[in-house]
Structure 1
Amino acid sequence: MKKEKKYIEYILKQAEALLAIDSPSGFTEKVTDYLCEEYKRLGYKPVKTKKGGVLVEIGGKGNAILTMAHVDTLGGMVAEIKSNGRLRLTRVGGLNANNIETENCRIYTLDGKVYDGTVQLTDASIHVNDDYQKSERTFDSVEVLLDEKVSSKEDVKALGIENGSFVCMDPRTRITESGYIKSRFLDDKLSTAILLGFAKYVKDEDLKLSRKVYQHITVFEEVGHGACASAPEDVEELLSVDMGCVGEGLECTDRQVSICVKDGHGPYHYDVVKALIQAAKDNHIDYAADVYPYYGSDADAALSAGIDARHGLIGPGVYASHGYERSHKDAVAATLELLKAYLA
């Protein structure tokens, strides 16, 4: 129990560090630099792929498996600087205008400056706008107000902000005394931290893995092509470690590890699903097997790109996906235990 607690604490520490680094798809260099340094500190030799992801061999021989998580997140990008100095956004990935209203954000310029702002409904004062309740929240009806003295397009451009500047939402990370983990972008920085935790476990325990294990932290999953490349030639199996879905009609809670049997792209490989479920049962791991109705993973992307391998998907249960998400330490522990049972 003490040993398990050590790794859970490490995972949560790494999750907090990753969540604090803004990294929407296409803007991930800082977070992958951090990951490379952490892998090196653990005693591994990570390499950056041409697309900017992080690939590292963990150990073992034969029957190679590529485990994957993604560190890119949802976000926004400036699509228009309005004449009044406010910003119209275009979304990066599946960001939803309905759940970013009143969110604090950061705007990054190409020359490295960072400005604060807030996402608000256009004409957001209820005492002025009688249609506030009826207004549909879209990326045409919400805007960013810069926390700078600006009132024109020229004022904004003078700051270095232009179309294409990334806009990153505040994750608002919090871990409660009762063990709940609340934040934007647990999808998929929580699972990235879990893979780091597994890598630390292998190194600390001098574990001799039963097969060769790679970890690939991808950086374009949220826009659909994260793992479309960079799978080593000897890989025979792909295992995405991403968020497990929680919602009506699904069994998983945010205190379990989820094993996906089918998502929006189709069923996962039967042999992999069966082996994952058996590993969970044999090791008394709290799991749920579910069908995710509107979902795609790095494993799906890899197969769509033509990689010839079996594929599977697991992850800690996460509620309120693509919004202000919630999981629990129990889900983290269950996911780590399933990785240990399946890969060790």
Structure 2
Amino acid sequence: MPKIFLTGATGYIGGAVLARILEHPLQHLSEITVIVRSAEKASLFNRTFGKKHNLNAVVGSYSDLALLRELAADADVVFACADADDLPAAKAILSGMRDKYSANGTPPVLIHTSGTGVLSDDADGMRASSTIYSDLDIPQLETLPSTQPHRDVDLTLVEADSQGYVKTYIVLPSTIYGFASGPLVENGLQNWRSQQIPRLVNVSLQRGQGGMVGKGKNWWGNVHIDDVAKLYITLFDLLDNPSPPSNFTHGRAGFYFAENGEHTLYSVGEAIAKLLSNMGKGSPAPTTFSASEIRQYFPAGTSLGSNSRCHAERGRQVGWRPSRTTHDMLQSVGAEVEESLSR
């Protein structure tokens, strides 16, 4: 089993992936290094998982480029689960992997976290898009401009793969939902809550009414956090398969969407609005965020009005089997409202 370096260990995605690695039947044969910002959390990681799971937590961040390069150079497999848009950090990790390749002549593996935000448009909630991207249709994906979210980092990884010193696999989750669970959550080490739906819930609670951008006609894919983590491990397990499926590819074709259904943003706003209405807050139909509310609640901008439609065909063809559906996503809104109210 390889040496593993994982970033984002305390995050929603990275923590869920790490939890699965710790549960892997052959995990005891691996060496795992994680990088965390807090010395306190690094100490807790090492006390809790160090000896039992051969894990070493190092204090640092994505701004510590020399450290990223050093840790990547010592790894056979890197799981990059932190900031999908940090190009300097991605380049530092790639530099370390080039060092690894120079040392032993075997290309290491980078499993990188991007997102289907790369597919987003400017619908502003006013229209649905008929364009649905497939991760098997590489020419279609290559029509995406480099100015799209995450795209500059993704293209940098693909170029590195083409040079032969690294094998890159890019995972692109859609709207992730559900509460993460497992040993990291139980020990207070991991963020266990998503972003998009909780953000909508919190804003709706503040304004006293379920809301949406525009008319909420835009569509996004969705996927449960457990199914996302399952995709990473599916790819990881295939690395040592002597006869992998034909669509288990890396580099130019190494894009893996994560979705198991799709929804309109109206449906999410409606689910929130109905719950709040039952509590005596607002009407059961969502209303449009005003321009002033957009500025107030989303000062850095928001993709909640965009379309981001895709089919996760490549992952399914290599063995990924997601189980949670759009119905589960809409049902999860109730727990999100309860959690926000409890805070």
What TM bracket, shorter-length normalisation?
Answer: under 0.3
- After TM superposition, the score normalised by the length of structure 2 is 0.26
Q: Which structure shows the bigger proportion of residues in strand conformation?
A: 1
- After TM superposition, the score normalised by the length of structure 1 is 0.26
**Structure possessing the higher relative contact order (Cα contacts under 8 Å, 6 or more residues apart):** 1
